[in-house]
Chain A
Amino acid sequence: MKFTKTVLATSILALSAGVASADSITVVSWGGAYTKSQVEAYHKPWMAATGNSVVSEDYNGGLAEVKSQVEAGNVTWDLVDVEMSDAVRGCDEGLLEEIDSSILPAGADGTPAMDDFIAGTVTDCAVATIVWSTIFAYDNSVLANGPTSISDFFDLEKFPGKRGMRKSPKANLEMALAADGVAAADIYDVLGTPEGVDRAFAVLDRIKDDTVWWEAGAQPPQLLADGEVVMTTAYNGRIFNAVAAEDKPFTIVWDAQNFDLDLWVIPKGAPNLEAALDFVKFSTATEQLAAQASYISYGPVRKSSAPLVGSFYNKPELDMGPQMPTAPENFATAIQSDFEFWADNQDELNERFNAWLAN
């Protein structure tokens, strides 16, 4: 198995919080800077408050492990951080426990939970924590007058050089249509037609021969740093982290950003259901979501968290607000990833994308 296992803490504090016995839960997430932000903002305070411990594991997304654990009746994961489309599909396929939204606490300002969460971020089986985004970024020490719009990304004459893209049709097709002049609101209407799909692939054709395909979120900053590509799509938090923590000369272009959610789900039959639910409750409270935003530039899903978002944890001068996908100046042309569209069409579009890649 590829995941690294980190036992975070086994120390047991005084059992004053009324917890009869200390539990240990296994929380699975995407690794790197993102997991670090969760450890700092969720795991450590939760362990301190309850005396329970958290074992953190990394994975690369997708439902395969959850599916095999549930179908084998041997579930070892208690909580998994997934994308929206996987949360919906896992719930539909009966792989996930339902989470009663009434357990979620009200916002710090007293707003009831369901009004405090942005619409659509709490579903039958999942509670969202952050808004993240697929953007594209370039190295400003190589390109002094860098690209400013999504059409520049697909323009090899204006900006020669290799591109990096995620090896998946998701987000790429949307960006391709946006570069072809389709407005953010119409993207999925166009993509729903065969002509629209042809059109999107035609745009991708422009850069196909000059593209390096990445799969893990840690790859794109590396590709940029190695000079392997001049610009690449990436998750905004990874690029932010490379800039803020490693002082890389990268610039994010927010035009036609694709934003999506990350959500907590509990595999059906999780060994420590009660503790996992308690962790969900704890970590999606206003303060915790706001605290996470000081470690990585992903936007909290609670409206009441926004005013509490401060600056980067070890750089007080770096204000986190403008780094968020949801910041107004970044958000003008944002496309919300349509999980319903992808759940319906991913089989066909993946197949076509794979065939397109191989030809």
Chain B
Amino acid sequence: MTDTTGPIIAADGTPLKRKLAQAMFRSRARAFGLVFPLLAFIIAAFIIPIIMLLWQGFYDDRYATLMPESTAAVSEWDGTSQPTEEIAAAMVADLVVARSNKTIGQVATRVNRELSGTRSLFTKTARSAAKMEPPYMQALIDKDAKWSDIRTWQAVKISAKIYNPGYIAAALDFKYNADGSFSRQAEERRIHVKLFLRTLEISFIVTVACLLLGYPVAFLLSTLPVRTSNLLLILVLLPFWTSLLVRTTAWIAMLQGQGVMNDLFVVFGLATDDDRFSLIYNKTGTLIAMTHILLPFMILPLYSVMKTIPPTYVRAAKSMGATNWTAFWRVYFPQSVPGIGAGALLVFILAIGYYITPALVGGQDGQMISNIIDFHMRKSLNWNLAAALGLVLLVFVLFLFWLYDRIVGIDNMKLG
């Protein structure tokens, strides 16, 4: 027996504290081992590709890699004075190499993004670059007068920047200039800010519409006897399980000029045969179809939260003299707020990235920012701009998420 105040020792002589830490470590390692496959999968298949893609929003080394000499030359140049003979000589040397490596097309495509018409200028000049003799500036101008235009060289200077703020600027309707300044994009080419705002507007309206339509349904589902409510729940889940494309196409059949809804309007005298409502291929169509498609995402969280609200509370409130409205508003509603929070956030974030439905039924004024991102991914192949737009959208959503957390509180949200 000892009366020492030293650490408590376990049976095998090691301090109990360390023993406990070991046991905790083992169980933590086991838990980590269980989630590791999923974690590795998410990192490899989700997080890394996203970072790599977003990286392209401000990183573009295509010109600098393929045209190293002229990249070095224009980086010395201030972007406003007359380009020097050295710059021209470096350009000709690069063009010769790019032509023989067959990379001239990539270079030309890159510069053409900054100034229309430079694509053919580069491919054409490269064809005869090998035969050019000093003075090179004059040789270039003799080949095509566009080489005497300072805007051509400014486009080269912008393209040569590896860390290029131009794409993010373009995503916000600004233009990055060769001297490092930013200016507003020409009026007729401004589109992105407008579309970001419209995306926000459509998402907000869809969220509110889903809430107004979904709340009574969820309330009804949660108060009915289980047998009836399960049957009704199937009616909510059935469209939820149906393909998005099928549902969108069904709305086209319903809403188009010669569609079911318009036929009914004509029958009931609300519209004439020559003057039918335009319910689709515009913003109205986008709103209707998206509200319908996203409705289950509102109803299900609401329903699962409402299921857990004991009916006794409302009865207690009424027994103490509350009117129906007061009992609902002061007792029931606050308890359903976590469901509203979850549903609204789910619907809003899904809506902000929607693109198939607006693409099919949106016409011209029902398009959203994701449709432009899709356009740059698939049609114009300007992945850098697509990445920049995606980056802006991501930052924006994270900001909204933060705002939501500050106002409503992210803990105050329940999916069931």
Q: Do A and B come from the same complex?
A: yes
In the complex, 23 of the A-B residue pairs with CB atoms within 8 angstroms, ordered by the A residue number, are A63-B381, A64-B379, A64-B381, A67-B381, A89-B109, A92-B104, A93-B105, A94-B102, A94-B103, A162-B257, A208-B364, A343-B119, A343-B120, A344-B112, A344-B118, A345-B116, A351-B189, A355-B190, A358-B191, A358-B195, A358-B364, A358-B367, A359-B194
What residues on A are CB-neighbors of B123 within 8 Å? 92
What residues on A are CB-neighbors of B382 within 8 Å? 347
Which residues of A324-359 have CB atoms within 8 Å of chain B's CB atoms? 340, 343-352, 354-359
Pair B375/A354 contact, Cβ less than 8 Å = yes
What residues on B are CB-neighbors of A358 within 8 Å? 191, 194-195, 198, 364-365, 367
Of B116, B365, B375, chain A has the most CB atoms within 10 Å of the CB of B116
Determine whether A226 belongs to the interface, using a CB cutoff of 8 Å to chain B.
yes
Pair B112/A347 contact, Cβ less than 8 Å = yes
The contact of B372 among A94, A162, A354, by CB within 8 Å, is A354
State the CA gap A358–B187 with chains docked (Å). 13
Pair A92/B106 contact, Cβ less than 8 Å = yes
Determine whether A91 belongs to the interface, using a CB cutoff of 8 Å to chain B.
yes
Q: How far is the CB of A229 from chain B (nearest CB, A)?
A: 9
Pair A347/B257 contact, Cβ less than 8 Å = no
Q: How far is the CB of A227 from chain B (nearest CB, A)?
A: 5
Pair B281/A355 contact, Cβ less than 8 Å = no
Which residues of B95-121 have CB atoms within 8 Å of chain A's CB atoms? 102-106, 108-109, 112-113, 116-120
The contact of A355 among B108, B116, B188, B363, by CB within 8 Å, is B188
The contact of B258 among A62, A63, A227, A354, by CB within 8 Å, is A227
The contact of B378 among A64, A208, A213, A343, by CB within 8 Å, is A64
What residues on A are CB-neighbors of B367 within 8 Å? 357-358
State the CA gap A162–B377 with chains docked (Å). 30
Pair B379/A226 contact, Cβ less than 8 Å = no
Pair A92/B108 contact, Cβ less than 8 Å = yes
The contact of B188 among A89, A92, A345, A356, by CB within 8 Å, is A356
List 4 tightest A-B contacts by C-beta distance, closest first.
A92-B105, A355-B191, A348-B116, A64-B378
Determine whether A212 belongs to the interface, using a CB cutoff of 8 Å to chain B.
yes
Pair B364/A347 contact, Cβ less than 8 Å = no
Which residues of B216-258 have CB atoms within 8 Å of chain A's CB atoms? 256-258
Determine whether B183 belongs to the interface, using a CB cutoff of 8 Å to chain A.
no
Determine whether B5 belongs to the interface, using a CB cutoff of 8 Å to chain A.
no
Q: How far is the CB of A359 from chain B (nearest CB, A)?
A: 7
The contact of A212 among B113, B190, B281, by CB within 8 Å, is B281
What residues on B are CB-neighbors of A345 within 8 Å? 116-117
Determine whether A40 belongs to the interface, using a CB cutoff of 8 Å to chain B.
no
State the CA gap A357–B358 with chains docked (Å). 14
Residue of B nearest to A71 (CB): B383
Query: How many chain A residues touch the partner (CB < 8 A)?
Result: 35
Given contacts A356-B188, A357-B364, A358-B365, whether A347 and B380 have CB atoms under 8 Å apart is yes
Which residues of B298-328 have CB atoms within 8 Å of chain A's CB atoms? none
What residues on B are CB-neighbors of A347 within 8 Å? 112-113, 116, 380, 382
Interface SS, A side: helix
Pair B106/A93 contact, Cβ less than 8 Å = yes
Given contacts A350-B379, A358-B367, whether A344 and B188 have CB atoms under 8 Å apart is no
Pair A89/B258 contact, Cβ less than 8 Å = no
Pair A62/B119 contact, Cβ less than 8 Å = no
State the CA gap A344–B191 with chains docked (Å). 21
Chain A interfacial positions (CB closer than 8 Å to B): 62-64, 67, 89, 91-94, 162, 208, 211-213, 215, 226-228, 340, 343-352, 354-359
Residue of A nearest to B124 (CB): A340
What residues on B are CB-neighbors of A351 within 8 Å? 189, 191
State the CA gap A358–B189 with chains docked (Å). 10
What residues on A are CB-neighbors of B257 within 8 Å? 162, 226-228
Q: How far is the CB of B106 from chain A (nearest CB, A)?
A: 5
State the CA gap A226–B254 with chains docked (Å). 12
What residues on B are CB-neighbors of A92 within 8 Å? 104-106, 108-109, 123
Which residues of B345-389 have CB atoms within 8 Å of chain A's CB atoms? 359, 363-365, 367, 372, 375, 377-382
Given contacts A343-B120, A358-B367, A359-B194, whether A64 and B377 have CB atoms under 8 Å apart is yes
Residue of A nearest to B379 (CB): A62
State the CA gap A340–B364 with chains docked (Å). 28
State the CA gap A93–B380 with chains docked (Å). 13
What residues on A are CB-neighbors of B380 within 8 Å? 346-347, 350
Pair A352/B189 contact, Cβ less than 8 Å = yes
State the CA gap A147–B119 with chains docked (Å). 39
What residues on A are CB-neighbors of B365 within 8 Å? 358
Q: How far is the CB of A203 from chain B (nearest CB, A)?
A: 15
Residue of A nearest to B106 (CB): A93
Residue of B nearest to A64 (CB): B378
State the CA gap A91–B104 with chains docked (Å). 10
Chain B 108-152 interface mask (CB, 8 Å, partner A; 1/0): 110011001111100100000000000000000000000000000
Q: How far is the CB of A213 from chain B (nearest CB, A)?
A: 6
What residues on B are CB-neighbors of A226 within 8 Å? 256-258
State the CA gap A215–B355 with chains docked (Å). 15
State the CA gap A344–B381 with chains docked (Å). 14
Pair B379/A94 contact, Cβ less than 8 Å = no
State the CA gap A88–B6 with chains docked (Å). 82
Residue of A nearest to B123 (CB): A92
Q: How far is the CB of A179 from chain B (nearest CB, A)?
A: 20
Given contacts A343-B119, A357-B367, whether A228 and B381 have CB atoms under 8 Å apart is no
State the CA gap A180–B108 with chains docked (Å). 33
What residues on B are CB-neighbors of A91 within 8 Å? 105
State the CA gap A347–B380 with chains docked (Å). 7
Pair B105/A354 contact, Cβ less than 8 Å = no
State the CA gap A208–B363 with chains docked (Å). 11
State the CA gap A245–B9 with chains docked (Å). 91
What residues on A are CB-neighbors of B103 within 8 Å? 94
What residues on A are CB-neighbors of B281 within 8 Å? 212-213
Given contacts A64-B381, A350-B380, A358-B365, whether A93 and B109 have CB atoms under 8 Å apart is yes
What residues on B are CB-neighbors of A215 within 8 Å? 359
